Structure 1
Amino acid sequence: MRRLLLLPLCLSLAACFNVGPDYQKPDEPVPESWRFAEAEAAAIANTRWWEQFGDPVLVRLIDQSLQQNKDLRIATASVEEYLGLYGVSASSLFPQLGGTASGQEQKSSIEAMGPSPAGAAVNPITTNIQATLNVSWEIDVWGRLRRATEAARADLFSREENRRAVVLTLVTSVARSYVQLRELDLRLDIARQTLADRREAYRIAQARFAGELNSESEVRQAESELRNAEALVPQLEKSVAQKEHELSVLLGHNPAAVERGLALNELRHPEVPMGLPSELLQQRPDIRQAEQDLIAANARIGVAKGEYFPKFTITGSVGNSSIDLSRLFAGPAGLWSYGATLAVPLFTAGKIAGQVQQANAKEQQALFGYQRVLLNAFKEVEDALVDNSRTRQQVTAQAGQVDALREYLRLARLRYDNGYTNYLEVLDAQRNLFNVQLALAQGRSSALQALINLYKAFGGGWVEQATAAATPEAS
C-alpha cells in the first residue's frame, strides 16, 4: 500500500511535460506612426473623455446606461458563466473526494437457505449498514488537463474582453446618440424659425400682390417655400422622438423623453492625445479578445493530442460496515480498498487524428481572425483620425458660408426694399441660408461624432474607469 501511495508523488514529479505547442504571440507588423496624426504621439487618454464635452447631462446619461443597459448586463453574466466553466475545468487537476452512506435489510427464503444444523436457529433477516469515503484522481502526466484548464482560462479572459468591448460600444453609442439628438434639436429650431420667417414672407407677398406691387408668381413662390418648411418640421419632430426612443433603450428603460443639457454648438471639442500604434495591442478590447481566442485554440491542440497518451487514475475508499448501527464505528467494522487504472487507446479508427486536425484548423482560424482584427483596428484609427481632422475643417468652411449668406440675405432685403429687385431674390437667399444652416448643424454633429469615434478606435484604460461608475450588479 505504501508503494501505491507513492505513485501520485512520482507521477506528479513527472508531470512537467505539457502535450501540444506552447503559445507564442504572433509577431505582426505594427506601424511606427499614424498617417493622419496632427500631434506628436503621447499616451492614449485613459480619462473619462465624455466629461471633457462640458455637459453634466451627458455624463449622467452615460453613468445611467452603465448601470441599466441590458447588453452590458448580459455581457457581465456571460463572464460569470465562463468563470464557472473555468472552475469546473480547474477542478479536474485535483483529487475528487466523496462520501456514501447506505443501509439495507433483507429477508431471505428459509426454504432456499436449506436445512440448518441441528438445534441452530435460522434468522432469514440480514442487515447491512455502511459508510465510506471515496477518492478518485486522474494524474495529469501529459498535461492534457492542464491544457484544457489553460483553454478555459483564455475563454474566461475572452469573455471579460467582450464585456469591455460592450462598455466601449455602449459609452460611445450613448455619446453619439446624444450628439445626434442635439443636432436634430438644432435643426428643428432652425426649421421652426424658418417656418415663421416664411409665413411672414408669404403674408407680405400676398399684401403686395393685393396692392399690385408684385406678380402672382412671387406669391406662389413664397407659398411653395412656406409649404416646404411646414413639411420639414413634423419630419424633424418625428426624428427627434425616434432618437429619444433609441437613446432610452441604451439607457435601459422604456422609450421616453430624454433630458437635455448644452446645445450642440456649446459642446466643447477637446483634443485627443495621439497614442502610438503599438499601444493599440494593449488598449483595444477586440484585439485582446482575439488574442485570448487564439490562446484557447492553441491550448486545445494539446487537449486533442493528449488523447493519444495513457490515462492514469487512482481510486480508494475507506469506511465502516456493520450489521448493527451501534457497532458501525467499532474497530472490526473498518474496511478499505485502493487501486490504480491505466487506460490506453489502442485503436480509435482515426478519431483522435481527426480531433487533432480539427484543433489545428481552429487554431489557424483564430490566428487569421487575430490578424484581421489587428488590421481592422489600424484602419479604424486611421479613418477616425482623418475624419476628425477633415470634418473640423469642413465645419470652419460651413460657418464662413453661413456668415456670407446672412450678409447676402441682408443685402437682398435691402435691394428689395429699395425696389432694385423682386422678392424672388430674397426667397432664394433665405432658402440658401436655411440649407447651409442645416448643413452646419450636421457638420458640427459630424465633427463631434468623429471625435467620439476616435476615442472608440483608440480604446483605452477609460473602460475600467467607466465601469467603476456602474452599480455592483453591472460591474
Structure 2
Amino acid sequence: MIKFVHKPALTLLAAAVLSACSLAPVYQRPAAPIAGSYAMDTAGAAAKTGFATVLAGPGQKDAVDTGWREYFSDPRLQQLIAAALENNRDLRTAALRIEEARAQYDIQSADRRPNLNANAAVTKAKTPAFLSPSGQTSIGKRYDAGLAISAFELDFFGRVKSLNDAALAAYLATEEARQAAQISLVAQVAQAYYTERAYAEQYALAQQTYEARARTYKLTQQRAEVGASSRLDLRSNETLMETARAAALTLARQRAQANNALTLLVGQPASAAGTGAMPSDLQIDVLSALPTGLPSDLLARRPDIRAAEQRLQSANANIGAARAAFFPRISLTAALGSSSPSLNGLFDGGSGSWSFAPQLTLPIFDAGRNRANLGLAEARKNLAVADYEKTIQTAFREVADALAARDYLGEQVSAQRAVQEAQADRLKLLQLRFDNGVASSLDVLDAQRELFSAQQTLVQARLLRTTSAIDLYRALGGGVK
C-alpha cells in the first residue's frame, strides 16, 4: 500500500535537502608552478667548488620544527627578538587584523541561525467619529508582548553558507598572515642585530687603523722636519690616516642608523645590541645546517602560502554566493505572543496571538547586477589563483637563493680570510724590507691600505653568510615558535 506523506512534512524534508545544496565550485588546489627540486644541488655544488659545506645530519630538525630560541643561541639576540614579538607595531596590527576577521566571521555566521527577539509594545490611537461604529470619537489602546523571528532566510541554494565559508577562510588567512609576519619579524631582528654588530666590528678595525696610522704620521712628520723623510712620504701617510678616519666616521654613522632600524623593529631602545658579537664560522655552519626537503614541502611549511590558499578558498566560496543570487530567496518572519486592550489582561486566557509571513523573492530584472557580481567573483578567484601561484614561486626562489648562498658564501669567507692573512704577512715582510732599506715606504703604505680593505671585506663576507643562514631559516618556514 502506498502511503502519502503529509504535505508539511514533505515541505520540511525538501527544505532540509535543498538547504544542503551549494553552488560554489568544488575547490581544487592549483598545481604548484615550480620544479620538483631546487635549482641548486647543495652536495653537487659543494663538491664542484671544493668546499665541504656542513649539511644537516639525519637527526637535524626541520626549520619549521626549530624554534627561534633554539636556532639563535645568542642571549642578547633572544632578548631582542622576545621584545620585538611583544612590542612591534606591525605584528600588533596583524594580531588586530585577526580579531577583525574573527568578528566578521562571527557576524556572517550568525545569519545561518534564526534571530529570536522579545518585544513589547503599546499602541494608542484616536478614531474619528465618522469612522467609529458608535459615531463618537474614541481613543483605543493595545498592549502586545511576545517573541518574534525576523526575516530568517531558508538557505536553499547555499548563499548564506557560501558567505559563511568565505568569511571563515578570510579569518584563517589573517591568522596565517600573522604567523608569516612573525617569521619575517624574527628574521629581520636577527639580520638587523648582526648588521649592527658587523658595523661595530668594522668601526673598531677602522678606529684601530686610524690610531696606528696617526702614530706613523706623527713619526714621519718628525722625520720630515729633520730631513730624514720626504714630503711625499709625509703626504702619503697623511692620506692613509685621513682615509682611515673617514672610514671610521662612515661606519659610525652606519652603525647608528642600523641601531635605529633595530630599535624600530624591537619597539623599544635596543640596549642589548651593543654588547653582542658576530657569530664564528662554526656557529654559522650550525645555523646553515638545515635540511631543505622537497619544494612541495613549502606548501605546508610556509604560512604565507597557506594564507594565499585560504584567500583562494574564500574567493571560491564567494562564487557560490554570487550564483545563488540568480535563484529565488525565501525568508520567514514569525511572531508568537499576546495582545490585549488593557495591560492587566495581556496574559489572560484567549489573548494569545501569532503571525506567520513567508516571503519569496524571485529576481526577474536587475539590469545585469547579478551577472556582474558573478563575473566579479570569478575574476577575483582568478586573481587569487595568480596570487597563490606567485607566492609559491617567490617562496621557491627564496629557498633556492638561500641554498646558493649557503653553498658559495662559506668558500667566499674562507678565500677572503686567506686574502687577509696573505696581506698581513705581506705587510710584515715589506716592513722588514723597509727597515733594512730594501723596500720603499710607498710599498709599505700600499700594503697597509690593502690589508685594511681585506679586513673590512672579510667582515662583510661573514655578515653575508650570517644573513643568508637566517634567510634560509625564514624561507623554510622557521621562526614561529
User: Partner of 2:147: helix, strand, or coil?
Assistant: strand
Structure 2 counterpart of 1:316: 334
Structure 1 counterpart of 2:79: 60
Cα drift, residue 49 of structure 1: 4.2
The TM-score with structure 1 as length reference comes to: 0.90
Once residues 62 and 77 of structure 2 are traced to their aligned partners in structure 1, the CA distance between those partners, rounded to angstroms, is 22
Shift of the 107–348 alpha-carbon distance from structure 1 to 2, 3 Å rule, reads: closer
Within the candidate set 14, 35, 44, 1:10 is matched to 14
User: Partner of 1:317: helix, strand, or coil?
Assistant: strand
Once residues 425 and 157 of structure 1 are traced to their aligned partners in structure 2, the CA distance between those partners, rounded to angstroms, is 66
Q: Is 1:102 aligned with 2:127?
A: no
For structure 1, which segment, 70-79 or 2-11, has the greater mean C-alpha deviation from structure 2 after superposition? Answer: 2-11
The TM-score with structure 2 as length reference comes to: 0.89
Structure 1 counterpart of 2:109: 90
Within the candidate set 166, 188, 204, 2:219 is matched to 204
User: Partner of 1:259: helix, strand, or coil?
Assistant: helix
Letter in 2 for 1:215: S
User: Partner of 1:337: helix, strand, or coil?
Assistant: strand
Within the candidate set 233, 248, 253, 1:218 is matched to 233
Shift of the 91–3 alpha-carbon distance from structure 1 to 2, 3 Å rule, reads: farther
Structure 1 counterpart of 2:199: 184
Cα drift, residue 106 of structure 1: 4.4
Identity %: 35
Once residues 72 and 376 of structure 2 are traced to their aligned partners in structure 1, the CA distance between those partners, rounded to angstroms, is 50
Q: Structure 2: give runs of 5+ residues left out of the alignment.
A: 1-5, 44-54
Contact 1:286 1:373 in 2 (8 A): yes
Structure 2 counterpart of 1:163: 178
Q: Is 1:456 aligned with 2:435?
A: no
Letter in 2 for 1:286: D
Once residues 330 and 8 of structure 2 are traced to their aligned partners in structure 1, the CA distance between those partners, rounded to angstroms, is 13
Contact 2:34 2:392 in 1 (8 A): no
Q: Is 1:444 aligned with 2:462?
A: yes
What pairs with 1:150-299 in structure 2 (closer than 5 Å)? 150-253=165-268, 257-266=271-280, 268-269=283-284, 270=286, 271-299=289-317
Cα drift, residue 203 of structure 1: 1.0
Contact 2:80 2:270 in 1 (8 A): no
Structure 2 counterpart of 1:130: 144
What pairs with 1:21-32 in structure 2 (closer than 5 Å)? 21-28=25-32, 30-32=34-36
What pairs with 1:303-452 in structure 2 (closer than 5 Å)? 303-452=321-470
User: Partner of 2:350: helix, strand, or coil?
Assistant: helix
Once residues 66 and 364 of structure 1 are traced to their aligned partners in structure 2, the CA distance between those partners, rounded to angstroms, is 35
Contact 2:56 2:290 in 1 (8 A): no
- Tell me the alpha carbon deviations over residues 44-68 of structure 1, each in whole angstroms, 9 at most, x when there is no partner: 2211246444311101110111111
- Tell me the alpha carbon deviations over residues 367-417 of structure 1, each in whole angstroms, 9 at most, x when there is no partner: 122112212211111111101221111111111111111111111211122
Letter in 1 for 2:276: L
- Tell me the alpha carbon deviations over residues 211-237 of structure 1, each in whole angstroms, 9 at most, x when there is no partner: 322211000111111111222222211
Once residues 90 and 447 of structure 1 are traced to their aligned partners in structure 2, the CA distance between those partners, rounded to angstroms, is 49
Once residues 41 and 259 of structure 1 are traced to their aligned partners in structure 2, the CA distance between those partners, rounded to angstroms, is 32
Once residues 360 and 213 of structure 1 are traced to their aligned partners in structure 2, the CA distance between those partners, rounded to angstroms, is 86
Once residues 27 and 418 of structure 1 are traced to their aligned partners in structure 2, the CA distance between those partners, rounded to angstroms, is 73
Once residues 11 and 194 of structure 1 are traced to their aligned partners in structure 2, the CA distance between those partners, rounded to angstroms, is 86
Cα drift, residue 210 of structure 1: 2.2
Cα drift, residue 257 of structure 1: 4.4
- Tell me the alpha carbon deviations over residues 75-124 of structure 1, each in whole angstroms, 9 at most, x when there is no partner: 01101111111111111111121122112344556x6577958xxxx784
Letter in 1 for 2:118: G
Cα drift, residue 4 of structure 1: 5.5
Equivalenced residue count is 456
Once residues 64 and 220 of structure 1 are traced to their aligned partners in structure 2, the CA distance between those partners, rounded to angstroms, is 50
Once residues 41 and 381 of structure 1 are traced to their aligned partners in structure 2, the CA distance between those partners, rounded to angstroms, is 19
Once residues 166 and 394 of structure 1 are traced to their aligned partners in structure 2, the CA distance between those partners, rounded to angstroms, is 32
User: Partner of 1:21: helix, strand, or coil?
Assistant: coil
Structure 1 counterpart of 2:46: none
Shift of the 329–4 alpha-carbon distance from structure 1 to 2, 3 Å rule, reads: farther
Letter in 1 for 2:146: T
User: Partner of 1:419: helix, strand, or coil?
Assistant: coil
Q: Structure 1: give runs of 5+ residues left out of the alignment.
A: 466-475
Contact 1:12 1:139 in 2 (8 A): no
